[in-house]
Amino acid sequence: MIPARRAWLFPDPIRLDPAFREAARERGLGTLASAVLARRGISDAGRLAAFLGPAEAGLNDPRLLPDAGTVVERLAAARAGGERVMVFGDFDADGLTALAQLVLALRRLGLEALPYVPSRLDEGHGLSMASVEVADASGVTLIVTVDTGSSSVAEVAAARRRGIDVIITDHHHLPETLPAAVALVNPQRADSAYPDRSLAGSGVAFTVARLLLAELEGDEAWALGLADLATIGTVSDVAPVLGENRSIARLGLERLRSRPRAGIAALMARAGVRPEQADLETVGFVLAPRLNAAGRVGDALDAAALLLADEAGEADRLAGVLEAANSTRRDLLRGALAEARSALGLGGEPGAVAPDSALRDGLAGEVVVAGGPDGPALILRGPWPVGILGLVAGRLADETGRPAIVGTVVGEAVRASCRGDGRLDLADALDACDDLLTRHGGHAAAAGLETPLARWDGLAERFLAVAESARPDDGRPTLAVDLALPSQYVDYGLFRDLARLGPCGPGNPEPLVAVLGLTVWRVRAAAGGHTQLVLRRDRDVLDAIAFGRPDLAAGLAEGERVDVVARLSSRMFGGLETLQLDVRDVAPSGSHPRAAAVLGHHAARLSADARAVEERAAAAAAGGAG
């Protein structure tokens, strides 16, 4: 018998608002799927209508953006005066897709728009002094930032001194002192009347493009065609696919599938993805990593050029450059992970290779680990490029269920990326280390920091203490369950209902169902390290597949009683669509107290029903006799 690999988090009971329940029924959505939606904040009739209605209806009025009027006026003046405008992006996929959208929108308005992407290593985040100098030398009189700039007080002041206006469009947290920009379009502003605060940088750029096209060209519909780019940035930035972001994703996927722009089509072709099958996983695992790879190990400007390309030959050439950057990134990551795992005593992955020294870019040195292997957090630094630190930290955190800080030495300092375990709030934890840091930023799940090399050990010690105080009793990674049901309640109707929650992605994950009270009927290893299962319930069986779980084939015996957590999926079998469980974890049936409670409750109700039937039969018999 195999114990659960993860700590299953069962959903709290929820009472559905009667009007909401009624609205769901009218739209043909069952109670179980309605409960999942309600737990995700779609809990009244109005929100349900927006969720299930047409995608466009879920977009907000762009004129509600802070400083919307000023933005329109300033760009109208720029167009009238034939000004040259620089669009300053960021080097990640959110910044690059935001940049492409605004460049395309400004060009559509007849403006001359120059894209500028800073270097991750030399310029870092925020509007850079180097870009202000380039703007000045190129006769630019207006800079529009995307996905960055809210903290760039000195750089905006420097631009002003040179007679260059700056419009900031961004979604990052605002500092106390704001830059003296002409406009600061950031839904995070305390005085923002914009209804949605979860837009990514590319979502803000999309909304600004809608604003400008509507107000200056009377053609907002054209701007809606940028939704594919906004979708890539939104997913890449792990912004929740709910609310306006979900509407953007629905519009964007439609565009990606039906008429992908040249650069995206070329990227998908090289990755072997058919456009009509694109979903948010394609966006998150195929498109975003390739765009990011340019900024990590190459030149992010190549990715910007790819997004702006309108000719297939040029798009294909640039897609090749990004494909190569992506495989370099993959090799670097594999090597760094092998080194990190071995230094941490986690055991290596078979086939992992040490990174090619040519890829090291002059980096040398050994891996330094702080704290023991069983500590509350993993803290290490090694000879790795800045661009892959976040990827290494993310993998280590995923694999071990512990927060991870992964750094590299840059000059006299250590730069590091931090990824959380879903429990410890990294922003709070780093605040507690503030006096040891040169700078830090980020949010609960992901953050970055820089500290003088001499303070690294002190930082590690402090962070471990903070993490220790927040350490969970159960060290296993968690698995959030959306519904817990006796297996009899799982059917094709539930699968269809849950499919209406899509598109799924960060913040709106694929619903997971704890299917309780099954018997292993058949179990066999499948090619590629998977396990195929046939699970029996009362009257019939369910097909199931557990990807990446070869251990189940060896560890489960036929006849064993199990509970599984699974995503409901369907597959074609003999010309028929049948339900299949995409199994994420398996546990002995009833081993989780909540699973036992659900099964016990169900059994009690069944026996109460049986008793009622018996009593009715007895009463009928008695009546017949009397």
Residues making contact with Mn ion (CB under 5 A): 94, 147, 201, 237
Burial class (CB in 10 A: 0-12, 13-18, 19+), 374: exposed
Give every CB contact of residue 424 below 8 A, 6+ residues apart in sequence: 377, 403, 466, 467, 470
- Give the Cα separation of 556 and 384 in Å (integer): 41
Toward Mn ion, which CB reaches closer, 266 or 445? 445
Q: Tokens at residue 513, please?
A: 């169902």
Q: Tokens at residue 621, please?
A: 């018999």
- Using an 8 Å Cβ cutoff, are 295 and 311 in contact? no
Q: Provide the minimum distance between the beta carbon of 93 and Mn ion in the complex, in angstroms, as a whole number.
A: 9
Which helix or strand (DSSP H or E) is residue 534 part of? strand 530-536
Toward Mn ion, which CB reaches closer, 94 or 155? 94
Could you give the angle at which helices 312-344 and 389-400 cross, rounded to 10 degrees? 50
- Give the Cα separation of 554 and 75 in Å (integer): 65
Toward Mn ion, which CB reaches closer, 201 or 375? 201
Toward Mn ion, which CB reaches closer, 179 or 201? 201
Toward Mn ion, which CB reaches closer, 237 or 482? 237
Toward Mn ion, which CB reaches closer, 201 or 383? 201
- Using an 8 Å Cβ cutoff, are 560 and 1 in contact? yes
Return the C-alpha torsion angle 252, 284, 97, 293, nearest 10: -150
Q: Provide the minimum distance between the beta carbon of 419 and Mn ion in the complex, in angstroms, as a whole number.
A: 16
Burial class (CB in 10 A: 0-12, 13-18, 19+), 434: exposed
Q: What is the CA radius of gyration of the chain?
A: 27
Toward Mn ion, which CB reaches closer, 148 or 328? 148
Q: Provide the minimum distance between the beta carbon of 200 and Mn ion in the complex, in angstroms, as a whole number.
A: 5
DSSP string, 457-486: HHHHHHHHHHHHHT--SS-SPEEE-SEEEE
The label of the residue with tokens 């030959």 reads 313
Residues β-bridged to residue 567: 582
3-state secondary structure of 115: strand
Toward Mn ion, which CB reaches closer, 67 or 94? 94
Toward Mn ion, which CB reaches closer, 237 or 421? 237
**First-residue to last-residue Cα distance in the chain:** 55
Toward Mn ion, which CB reaches closer, 94 or 563? 94
Q: Provide the minimum distance between the beta carbon of 218 and Mn ion in the complex, in angstroms, as a whole number.
A: 30
Q: Provide the minimum distance between the beta carbon of 452 and Mn ion in the complex, in angstroms, as a whole number.
A: 28
Q: Provide the minimum distance between the beta carbon of 194 and Mn ion in the complex, in angstroms, as a whole number.
A: 16
- Give the Cα separation of 573 and 230 in Å (integer): 37
Toward Mn ion, which CB reaches closer, 371 or 390? 390
3-state secondary structure of 533: strand
Toward Mn ion, which CB reaches closer, 147 or 497? 147
Q: Tokens at residue 617, please?
A: 């039969």
Q: Where are the alpha helices (DSSP H) in 511-592?
A: 550-555
> Residue 189 region, left (φ>0) first, then alpha (ψ -120 to 50), else beta?
beta
- Of 405, 95, 30, which is closest to residue 237 (Cα–Cα)? 95
Q: Tokens at residue 344, please?
A: 């941490």
Q: Provide the minimum distance between the beta carbon of 237 and Mn ion in the complex, in angstroms, as a whole number.
A: 4
Toward Mn ion, which CB reaches closer, 505 or 517? 505
Q: Provide the minimum distance between the beta carbon of 429 and Mn ion in the complex, in angstroms, as a whole number.
A: 22
Q: Provide the minimum distance between the beta carbon of 230 and Mn ion in the complex, in angstroms, as a whole number.
A: 12
Q: Provide the minimum distance between the beta carbon of 299 and Mn ion in the complex, in angstroms, as a whole number.
A: 19
Toward Mn ion, which CB reaches closer, 67 or 147? 147
Query: 576-588 and 561-573: which strand pairing?
Result: antiparallel
Q: Provide the minimum distance between the beta carbon of 304 and Mn ion in the complex, in angstroms, as a whole number.
A: 15
Toward Mn ion, which CB reaches closer, 228 or 237? 237
- Give the Cα separation of 248 and 118 in Å (integer): 27
Toward Mn ion, which CB reaches closer, 171 or 290? 171
Backbone φ and ψ of 119, nearest 5°: -85, 135
Q: Provide the minimum distance between the beta carbon of 270 and Mn ion in the complex, in angstroms, as a whole number.
A: 25
- Give the Cα separation of 419 and 421 in Å (integer): 7
Q: Provide the minimum distance between the beta carbon of 567 and Mn ion in the complex, in angstroms, as a whole number.
A: 28
- Using an 8 Å Cβ cutoff, are 235 and 283 in contact? yes
Burial class (CB in 10 A: 0-12, 13-18, 19+), 526: middle
Q: Provide the minimum distance between the beta carbon of 580 and Mn ion in the complex, in angstroms, as a whole number.
A: 36
- Give the Cα separation of 116 and 111 in Å (integer): 16
The label of the residue with tokens 């990294």 reads 426
Q: Provide the minimum distance between the beta carbon of 131 and Mn ion in the complex, in angstroms, as a whole number.
A: 17
The DSSP letter of residue 94 is H
Q: Provide the minimum distance between the beta carbon of 278 and Mn ion in the complex, in angstroms, as a whole number.
A: 22
Give every CB contact of residue 107 below 8 A, 6+ residues apart in sequence: 113
